A and B are shown apart, each in its own frame.
Chain A
Amino acid sequence: MPEPAVGPVVLDAADLNRALTRISHEIIESARGADDLIILGIPTRGAVLAHRLAERISAAEGLAVPSGSIDITMYRDDLNMRPARALGHTVIPSRGVDGKTVVLVDDVLFSGRTVRAALDAINDIGRPRAVRLAVIVDRGHRELPIRADHVGKNLPTHRGESVRVRLSEIDGQDEIVLLRDAEKQS
C-alpha cells in the first residue's frame, strides 16, 4: 500500500493539552460536579485519553474520578465480515456503572459505528444514569444518529482522508495529523 501523503498537523501537543483541559471542565460543568462520574475510553487511544481526562477532572475537583476502558470488538457490526481480531482490554472500575454518568471517550468520531457498538457493550455491563460522548476530533460523515457532547476539534474531511492520532503513552509524542488521499483504510 502506498504511504498516504501526510497533510497538516491538526492539533499539536499544546493544542491537545488545551483541548483536554477544556473538555474536562465541560464534563464537570455539564455533570454539575464529578461525583458519580466514570470515564471509559475505547481502546487503544481512547483509553489513554480517558485516563488523561480522569486525571484532570480529579485534580480540578479534588476527588478521584475512576477511569477504565471498554473493548468493543465483539460488538462491531462488521465483526462477521473480516477475520477475527484480537480483543482490546476492558477494565471497568470496581464499583460498576449502575446509576453513574459514563463519559465515553474516543479519539476520532467518524461513522458513529464504534460508538454504537460501545453503547451496546455498556448495556451489557450495567445501566448508567446517562452516557455522554467526548472525542478529540469529529471528522464528520456520520452514518448513524450519534453526536458528541464534547469535541476537541471539528475537522471537515473528505471520506478518502484519514486522521492519525498519536499519543505520547503509545507513540512517543502527542500529535494529530490529517492524512490526505489515503487508500481506503482498513
Chain B
Amino acid sequence: MIEHLLSTADLSRDDAVLILDTAGEMENLTDRSVKKLPALRGRTVVNLFFEDSTRTRISFEAAAKRLSADVINFSAKGSSVSKGESLKDTALTLQAMGADAVVIRHGASGAPMRLASAGWIDGAVVNAGDGTHEHPTQALLDAYTIRRHLCGGSGDLAGLRVTIVGDVLHSRVARSNAWLLHTLGAQVTLVAPPTLVPVGVDSWPVTVSYDLDTVLPETDAVMMLRVQAERMNADFFPSTREYSRRYGLDAQRAALLPQRSIIMHPGPMVRGMEISDDIADSDRAVILEQVSNGVSVRMAVLYLLVGGSREGAGETS
C-alpha cells in the first residue's frame, strides 16, 4: 500500500481494489450492535480543514471514531491560522501533539503533497480535497458505489462506461475520478461546455464530448458535478438557464439512459441547475448512498494507512 493518499493517480489497480474490498468489510459494521472496531485504538487522527466542508469532515470524523481513533478537529476559522500561522507551523504543532494521520482540506492545490513530503510530520497524510486538484476519497466512494450497483460488489470496473458532466474545470472530484476509474478499467467520458473543460485534458485518460444527449444512451453511470460559482472568476456560460438546458439532467434527458444505469452526484447539489428535483429524488439516484458509502471507504483508507505499523508502509506486500 501507499504511505499517503494524495492523488488517485498514485493508486495501482490492486491498491484501489484492496481499498474497495476493505470498505466492503467495513460496511458490515452498520448492522452490528456495537458500531465500533478497535483498529485505531490509541491513534490520533487530525482533521485539518482550511476550507469549509460539512459532509467530508463529518464523514472522516465518523470513520475515525468508528475505528476507535481519537479525533481532533482543526478548522482554520477560529485557529491561529486566522492570526497568520503558516502551514509549516501548524504541521509542526500537530507533529508535537503526536498525530498519526492528518486529513487535510486546503484551498491551494498541492498543499497535502507539501505536508506529506516536507518532513514536518511523521503521520500519514490523507488529501480531503485540495483546490481544484484532487479529492481521492470522493473518487473512491464513487467507485465503490458504482461497483456495488453494477459489478456485484467485487473486482474492478472493467468495461463500464462512466460519464462525468458539468464543471470539470473547477472539479477536483472529476480529476480524481478520471484517474481512479481509468485505473479500475472503466471508460470515462467528460461532458462539459468548452469553457469548463480544463487545459491539458488531452493528457487525461478520458474522452471529451460537448453533447450530453449523444453520450447518455451509452452510459452505465452518470456523475453530475456542481457548478462551482464560488470559484468562477469569469463568465463561463451565458446564463443558468442555458447551462441547465444543455448540461442539466432532467427527467426527459434521464430517459435516454440505459435501464440499469445509475445517477450520481458528489454533493452539495444545486437543484434546478445541474440536476432537476425529480431526478435527484428518483430511484435511480444513488446520491444518499454515496454519502453513507463515504464513511466505509474512509474507514478503509484510515485503516490501511495507519492501522498497521508505519515502518515498512509504502512497500508492496
Contact = CB atoms under 8 A, between A and B. Distances in A.
Interface residues of A, number: 21
B39 interface: yes
B19 to A, nearest CB: 10
B25 A83 contact: no
B25 A84 contact: no
B25 A89 contact: yes
A74 B28 contact: no
B22 A82 contact: no
Contacts, number: 58
B38 A75 contact: yes
Contacts of A82: 308-309, 312
A170 interface: no
Nearest to A80: B309
B34 A124 contact: yes
Contacts of B315: 83
Interface string A81-105: 1111111111010001000000000
Contacts of B311: 83
B317 A83 contact: yes
A71 interface: yes
A84 B1 contact: yes
Contacts of A120: 38
Contacts of A87: 21-22, 25, 303
A84 B32 contact: no
Interface string B185-207: 00000000000000000000000
Contacts of A80: 308-309
Contacts of A79: 39, 307-308
28 contacts: A71-B25, A74-B37, A74-B38, A74-B39, A74-B303, A75-B38, A79-B307, A80-B309, A81-B308, A82-B308, A82-B309, A83-B309, A83-B311, A83-B313, A84-B303, A84-B305, A84-B307, A84-B308, A86-B21, A87-B25, A89-B25, A92-B32, A120-B38, A124-B32, A124-B33, A124-B34, A125-B34, A126-B33
Nearest to B35: A124
B36 interface: yes
Given A83-B1, A84-B304, 19 more contacts: A74-B38, A79-B308, A81-B308, A82-B308, A83-B309, A84-B1, A84-B306, A84-B313, A85-B308, A87-B21, A87-B22, A87-B25, A87-B303, A89-B25, A92-B32, A124-B32, A124-B34, A124-B37, A125-B33
Given A89-B25, A90-B25, A120-B38, A83 B312 contact: yes
A81 B38 CA distance: 15
B286 interface: no
A86 B34 contact: no
A81 B313 CA distance: 11
B193 to A, nearest CB: 43
Contacts of A85: 308
Interface string B285-310: 00000000000000000011111110
Contacts of A88: 25
Nearest to A94: B31
Contacts of B38: 74-75, 120
Query: Which of A71, A75, A87, A124 has the most chain B CB within a 10 Å cutoff?
Result: A87
Nearest to B313: A83
B279 interface: no
A86 B22 contact: yes
Contacts of B22: 86-87
